Amino acid sequence: MGAAVRQMFAVGNGDATATVTIDLGSAQTFLAWGLITWIDSTATFDSDNAVGVDITHVDGVRTGTVLNGGAHLGDPGAVKNLHQGAVVRFGRTVTFRLRAFHGEDLNAFGYGIAITNP
């Protein structure tokens, strides 16, 4: 079994975003998921705050979205929507995204994880 783990830290102004791409070295079947391990409200945690982790692309192709609309996401089909949080696919590269909405008063830390079976 092969595994890869990459850290993401979303902090900053506006919607703080961190992305990381795991390259598995060759196309193969994998299980991948994003994990949020820390949320730090530096002010009042309220309705302008949200945190999301998703897998936006596999081999450069966007994954499907699972949530859209509301105060933090976009219209159906928008890149800013929440994409799949876990996938089982065949491919080589997996791109993860961690977002802390309203990053002026919210930080987040998490991981992108992929496991392969040689």
At 28, which CATH number? 2.60.120
Angle at 30 between CA 24 and CA 32, to 5 degrees: 90
Going from the C-alpha of 62 to that of each of 23, 46, 71, 94, 106, the distances in angstroms are 16, 30, 22, 10, 27
pTM score, whole prediction: 0.92
Q: What is the mean pLDDT of each run of 10 residues along the chain (118 residues)?
A: 94 85 97 96 84 97 91 89 96 96 87 93
- Distance of alpha carbon 75 from alpha carbon 112, whole angstroms: 26
Q: Which residues span the domain enclosing 74?
A: 2-116
The total domain count for the chain is: 1
Q: Which of 89, 97, 83 is nearest to 114 (CA)?
A: 89
- What are 40's two structure tokens? 């730090």
Q: Please, which residues bridge with residue 68 across strands?
A: none
